């Protein structure tokens, strides 16, 4: 990106902070804004943005960390596949320490399971090429940001007739989760800071239903301090005027239509299905499954597997944190027995997790 330092300068920060305080004073009520991107959550803490905000303005961390919202049954299933003969499990590194019901991928790897960490689905495909006698299962997790790359790898495997490359699809899409949050009457949300990475693929248009049907203001936000503060200012301006629309603060990376080629890849390979989100439960049409045309690459279609009933670690409130109902200090395990070196819940594992952000940056407050 161009001129990152321009989005971190002190004087514009002071000016925006002043405008935000004026707007919040004009609104004269408690205001709750939710960021649904884990990178936003980390940036808010890294740059001390909460300390700049007026007392009646609250930032809630939502289910925007793909690792965090991956339910235990997916981890349990992955571990079960890893123990099958002649199998190599391949994954992005940030899911390795996510605790399942009884273990984690990291623990299983230390005990001899064939689990390899890669940076891209193309690396996973290369492992399949080099190990034709093994079943190579790639863990496909993430939102609309990573799903197109997995789709591309499936199409490449199909063209090359690589029959030992399989996907355990745990992909999720953001709009249905945002709808579920708005319709959950336990949570009050006055506006959304919409995820920049997802929006670069989908375009800002996908949030229009929130403004149209629920009268919730939305702003697609970048990740630098001025991006986030300007997005908050735009949301407050909408709230003060009684308007609800979708605005795009992150215009240097996001367009209205998004990346059409990436969208076409997803549409070609995946169809929507219900999916389990940690803390929220099943959300209709929020997951991506591999279409029947490419079912030969769907490990669950080719090699169905049964697992024991999944369960969370006793006392872990990661689910409530992901819904914005509680914060990490509300958890009896936080910093006492749960830490990045020994995570007991998914929110402490990923660098985008709310618990990890609190652990690293949060100062104790009343």
- The model's pLDDT over 62-80, given as tens digits with 9 standing for 90+, comes to 888 888 899 899 999 999 9
* CA–CA gap between residue 84 and residue 349 (Å, rounded): 26
Boundary of a domain, candidates 299, 314, 329:
314
pLDDT at 364: 52
Joined tokens for residue 242: 């009684």
Instruction: Give tens-digit pLDDT for 251-304.
Output: 999 999 999 999 999 999 999 999 999 888 899 999 999 999 999 999 999 999
Q: Is 117 left (phi over 0), alpha (psi -120 to 50) or beta?
A: beta
Please name the residue that has the structure tokens 């990178």.
39
pLDDT confidence bin for 10, thresholds 50/70/90: confident
Same domain membership, residue 274 and residue 164:
yes
Instruction: Give the residue numbers spanning the domain of 353.
Output: 318-361
pLDDT at 1: 47
* CA–CA gap between residue 130 and residue 134 (Å, rounded): 9
Q: Are the beta carbons of 91 and 105 closer than 8 angstroms?
A: yes
Same domain membership, residue 229 and residue 302:
yes
Helix (H, G, I), strand (E, B) or coil at 290: strand
Beta-carbon contacts of 101 under 8 Å, excluding residues fewer than 6 positions away, are 72, 75, 76, 308, 309, 310, 311, 312
Q: Which of 89-98, 131-140, 337-346 is the most confident on average?
A: 131-140
User: Any long-range contacts for 260-263 (C-beta under 8 Å, 24+ apart)?
Assistant: 262/144, 262/148, 262/201, 263/148, 263/201, 263/202
CA angle 307-322-334, nearest 5°? 90
Q: Distances in Å between the alpha carbon of 90 and those of 168, 222, 314?
A: 10, 31, 29
* Within a domain: 366: no
Instruction: Give tens-digit pLDDT for 27-41.
Output: 999 999 999 988 899
- If we measure between CA atoms, which residue out of 220, 144, 231, 214 comes closest to residue 179? 214
CATH number reported for the structural domain that contains residue 196 in this entry: 3.40.50.11740
pLDDT confidence bin for 351, thresholds 50/70/90: confident
Of all residues in the chain, what percent carry a pLDDT higher than 90? 75
Same domain membership, residue 159 and residue 42:
yes
* CA–CA gap between residue 327 and residue 59 (Å, rounded): 11
Mean pLDDT, residues 343-356? 88
pLDDT at 2: 56
Q: Are the beta carbons of 225 and 49 closer than 8 angstroms?
A: yes
Same domain membership, residue 214 and residue 197:
yes
Same domain membership, residue 229 and residue 351:
no
Given a cut of 50, whether residue 365 has pLDDT beyond it is no
* CA–CA gap between residue 51 and residue 132 (Å, rounded): 55
Given a cut of 80, whether residue 210 has pLDDT beyond it is yes
Boundary of a domain, candidates 314, 330, 346:
314
Beta-carbon contacts of 86 under 8 Å, excluding residues fewer than 6 positions away, are 133, 134, 135
Same domain membership, residue 180 and residue 291:
yes
Q: How many domains does the chain divide into?
A: 2
pLDDT at 262: 97
Instruction: Give tens-digit pLDDT for 305-329.
Output: 999 888 888 999 998 998 888 999 9
């Amino acid at each position: 990106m161009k001129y990152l330092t321009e989005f971190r300068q002190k004087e514009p920060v002071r000016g925006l902070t002043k405008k935000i305080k004026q707007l919040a004073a004009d609104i004269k009520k408690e205001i709750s804004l939710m960021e649904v991107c884990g990178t936003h959550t980390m940036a808010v803490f890294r740059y001390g943005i909460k300390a700049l905000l007026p007392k009646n303005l609250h930032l809630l961390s939502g289910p925007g960390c793909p690792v965090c919202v991956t339910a235990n049954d997916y981890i349990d299933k992955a571990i079960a596949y890893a123990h099958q003969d002649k199998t190599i499990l391949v994954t992005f590194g940030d899911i390795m320490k996510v605790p399942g019901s009884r273990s984690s991928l990291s623990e299983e790897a230390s005990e001899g399971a064939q689990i390899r960490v890669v940076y891209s689905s193309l690396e996973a495909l290369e492992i399949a090429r080099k190990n034709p006698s093994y079943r190579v299962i790639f863990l496909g997790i993430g939102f609309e940001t990573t799903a197109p790359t997995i789709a591309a790898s499936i199409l490449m495997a199909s063209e090359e007739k690589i029959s030992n490359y399989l996907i355990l699809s745990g992909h999720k899409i953001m709009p249905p989760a945002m709808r579920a949050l708005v319709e959950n009457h336990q949570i009050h949300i006055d506006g959304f800071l919409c995820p920049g990475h997802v929006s670069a693929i989908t375009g800002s248009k996908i949030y229009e239903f929130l403004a149209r049907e629920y009268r919730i203001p939305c702003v697609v936000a970048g990740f630098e301090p001025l991006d986030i503060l300007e997005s908050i200012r735009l949301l407050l301006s909408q709230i003060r005027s009684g308007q609800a629309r979708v605005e795009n603060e992150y215009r240097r990376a996001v367009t209205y239509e998004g990346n059409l080629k990436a969208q076409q890849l997803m549409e070609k390979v995946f169809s929507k299905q219900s999916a389990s989100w940690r803390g929220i439960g099943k959300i209709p049409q929020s997951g991506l499954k591999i279409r029947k045309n490419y079912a030969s690459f769907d490990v669950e279609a080719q090699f169905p597997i049964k697992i024991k009933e999944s369960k969370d670690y006793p006392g872990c409130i990661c689910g409530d944190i992901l819904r914005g109902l509680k914060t990490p200090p509300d958890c009896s395990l936080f910093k006492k027995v749960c830490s990045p070196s020994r995570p007991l819940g998914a929110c402490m594992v990923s660098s985008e997790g709310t618990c990890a952000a609190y652990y690293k940056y949060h100062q104790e407050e009343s």
